[in-house]
Structure 1
C-alpha cells in the first residue's frame, strides 16, 4: 500500500489532485483510515495514476478519462482506443484553428508601427536615489524571465517619464513593479530593457545613500555611482505594455503578517511539499491557506514558489494581498505606496 504522499511522488500527480480525483470518483483509494481520513492506495493503482497523469497533461476532459480508466481496468481496449483517437482529433482541430488565428495576428503585426521604437535613440541623463533604485531592483528581480524563446522578458524594464522611474520585470506568470524618483530629466517617456546581468551589476554598486547618475544614449545605458560605473547595451526588443496588464478589477484587500503568512504557505502537508497554494480571504480580512477541499468558491490558486519569492521581495513585515477574482491575478502590495507591487497569475483549480 502507498500513502497519498508516496503516490503523489511516484505518479506525478499532486496530493491535491489525488484528493480531487478521489472526490470525483476517478481514482478512489483502496482504503481510507476511518479515524484520520488518510488515504492509502493499492499497488495496481500506481499504473492507473500514471495513466491519469498523462491523460490530464494531454488535456483530455475528465469525463473521458473516467471512461478510459474504466476500459483500462476492464481490458476494453476498443473503447480506450476510440476515446484516445477522438481526443487526438479534437487536439488536431484545435491546433489547426490556433494556427489560422496566429497567422491573422502576424499579418496584423506586420502593419503596425511601434511608437516606442524611436525613443531608444533618445539621450537621457537623470539622477536617481541610490537606495530607491536598489529597493526597486530588489523588488522586481525575482520576476525576470529565463526563457530564451522570449528574450524581451530577459531583462528589467526602465521606464522613465518626467521625474518618475518605474522598474518592471515579468516572465508572464508573475510581474513586479518598482518605483524610484528621479531628477534632472523631465522629458518624454523613454523605455529601455536592461539585461539581467547588467541590472545585477547596477545593483551591486548601489551600496550607499545619495544619488547616482543614470544615462541613456542610443542603445546604451550607464549608471555612475561615485567613482564606479557600469554600462552596457540595452536589449533590442520591445517590452509588453505593462500598464495594461496592471489594471485589475477592484478586489478585497487583506493585511498579512509576512513572517506568519510565509510559515503557513511553506508548511508541508501529508509529509510532502506542494507546488500550489490555495488562498481564501474572509469578509473580516483574514487570509486562509486552504487545504484541498476546504474553502468556498472564491478560492484562488497560485504557484507556491512564486508566492514565497514575492513575499520576500516585498521586504516588509506587513504586506497587503488584494483578491479580485479566482481568475484575476493576486496582487501583493506594500502598505506605504501603490507604486511598488507584484502580480501572480492564478492557477486553475481542479474544483
Structure 2
C-alpha cells in the first residue's frame, strides 16, 4: 500500500474523532487493528479505507453499546446490523425506565410523607383504560406534559385524559371504593405504560399520591411509582365544553370500519357520509383530479346517518388509534364540519370519548366527488 494512503495514529485520530488511547485500546481488543505497525519503533499507521469503519465504531460506542455487540454489528450485514442496534436501543430505554421507577421509589421513601389514598380501581379495567387513553398522548420534547396521563379523582369517578393537541381521549372509571377527597395530577405516560402489566394482574389497584409521584399498589403488594409532571395540563374540559353541536351523527359497525382503514391506510383518510353509508377513502400521496367515470378507491360501509352529508380528512395516525381503542362493537361519530373535531364514542358505552382533529379541507373535494 503506498505511503500516501497511510496515516499516523495522531492524524487518524483527528479524522475519526477517536483518541489515540482509544485507538490503541481497540487495536489490542481486535476491533480496529492498524494497517501497519513499524516492527522497530512500534508506530501504528492506518489506511484511509479504515476511516469509515472507525467512525462506525465511534458512533456505536457513543450509544453505550458494549464491545461484543459492537463487534457483532460491524461484522453483520445492513439488515442484521439495524436489528442489533434496535435491540440495543430498546434495552437502553427499558433500563432507563427501570432506573426512573427506582429513583421515584427512592425519592418517595426518603423525602415524602406516606402516600395519600386517592382511589381504588379494578386492575384490569384500569389497565385497559390507560392503554386506550394514552394512544392520544404526544411525544413533543418541548412540551413533555403532552406525553402525560391526567388523572382526576372525585367522589363519582376516576377520569383519565391524554392529548397531543390533535387528539384528545378521556375515560371515566367507577371506583371500587368511594373516593374520600378530590385529587388531580398529571403522571408520566411512559412510566404508567410500564405499570400496565402489573395492573392487569391485580383484582384491585390502590392509587396513592405523594408530592412528586403516584404509587400504584397491587393486591399482592407490588408497588409501581410513576413521576408527576409539573407543567399545567391543557384545559381539556373547556375544550370539550366549547365544541359546537354535531351536525351529522353516524352509527357504524367498528370492525368493518377498522378493516376499511387498514385496507386503505395512508397519510390521509377521507370520511364521507351519505344517507345510509359511511365512505372511507385513502387520499393518495400524489393528488390528482379524477376523470369522468373514475371511482375513488375506498369502502362503503352501511351506517345510520342523521344530518346533512359531510366530508372530512384525517391523518391515518390520528384516526386509526381513536377507532381501534374504542369500546364495544358499534361506534358513534359526531361530525361537525370539515375543519372541526369529530367525537368518537361507543354507541353502547359512553365512558370513553375520543376527539380527533381533521386536517385542512381538500380543495379538490368538489372535483373528486
TM-score of the pair, normalised by structure 1: 0.59
Match for 2:239 among 245, 261, 264? 245
> Structure 1 residue 210: deviation in Å?
2.9
- Aligned partner of 1:283 in structure 2 is 275
- Aligned partner of 1:262 in structure 2 is 258
- Aligned partner of 2:322 in structure 1 is 310
Match for 1:175 among 168, 181, 186? 168
Map 1:1-351 → 2, pairs under 5 A: 123-182=116-175, 183-188=177-182, 190-208=183-201, 210-226=203-219, 227-247=221-241, 248-251=243-246, 252-268=248-264, 274-284=266-276, 286-290=277-281, 298-351=310-363
> Structure 1 residue 256: deviation in Å?
1.7
Task: Report which of the two structures shows the higher radius of gyration computed on alpha carbons.
Answer: 2
Partners in 1 of 2:282 and 2:139 — Cα distance? Answer: 31
> Structure 1 residue 291: deviation in Å?
6.1
Higher RCO (CA-CA < 8 Å; seq separation 6+) = 1
Partners in 2 of 1:138 and 1:194 — Cα distance? Answer: 14
Listed one character per residue, the Cα deviations across residues 21-45 of structure 1 (whole Å, up to 9, x for unaligned) are xxxxxxxxxxxxxxxxxxxxxxxxx
- In structure 2, the CA distance between the partners of 1:180 and 1:274, relative to structure 1 (3 Å rule), is same
- For the residue of structure 1 that corresponds to 2:200, the secondary structure is coil
Partners in 2 of 1:201 and 1:174 — Cα distance? Answer: 22
Structure 2 unmatched ranges of 5 or more: 1-113, 284-289, 291-295, 301-307, 364-369
Partners in 2 of 1:197 and 1:140 — Cα distance? Answer: 13
Listed one character per residue, the Cα deviations across residues 191-246 of structure 1 (whole Å, up to 9, x for unaligned) are 21111222112212122463211011222210111221101321111101111122
- For the residue of structure 2 that corresponds to 1:134, the secondary structure is helix
Give the total of aligned pairs.
225
Partners in 1 of 2:346 and 2:202 — Cα distance? Answer: 22
Listed one character per residue, the Cα deviations across residues 2-34 of structure 1 (whole Å, up to 9, x for unaligned) are xxxxxxxxxxxxxxxxxxxxxxxxxxxxxxxxx
Partners in 1 of 2:244 and 2:226 — Cα distance? Answer: 39
Listed one character per residue, the Cα deviations across residues 49-93 of structure 1 (whole Å, up to 9, x for unaligned) are xxxxxxxxxxxxxxxxxxxxxxxxxxxxxxxxxxxxxxxxxxxxx
Listed one character per residue, the Cα deviations across residues 243-263 of structure 1 (whole Å, up to 9, x for unaligned) are 112232222221222221122
| Mapped contact 1:320–1:332 kept (Cα < 8 A) | yes
| Mapped contact 2:119–2:158 kept (Cα < 8 A) | no
| Mapped contact 1:281–1:323 kept (Cα < 8 A) | no
TM-score of the pair, normalised by structure 2: 0.56
| Mapped contact 1:163–1:186 kept (Cα < 8 A) | no
Structure 1 unmatched ranges of 5 or more: 1-120
> Structure 1 residue 265: deviation in Å?
2.1
| Mapped contact 2:148–2:187 kept (Cα < 8 A) | yes
- For the residue of structure 1 that corresponds to 2:173, the secondary structure is strand
Partners in 1 of 2:198 and 2:338 — Cα distance? Answer: 41
| Mapped contact 2:115–2:208 kept (Cα < 8 A) | no
Listed one character per residue, the Cα deviations across residues 84-117 of structure 1 (whole Å, up to 9, x for unaligned) are xxxxxxxxxxxxxxxxxxxxxxxxxxxxxxxxxx
Partners in 2 of 1:220 and 1:312 — Cα distance? Answer: 30
Pairwise CA RMSD: 2.5
| Mapped contact 1:133–1:179 kept (Cα < 8 A) | no
- Aligned partner of 2:58 in structure 1 is none
- Aligned partner of 1:61 in structure 2 is none
Partners in 2 of 1:297 and 1:350 — Cα distance? Answer: 16
- Aligned partner of 1:85 in structure 2 is none
- Aligned partner of 2:76 in structure 1 is none
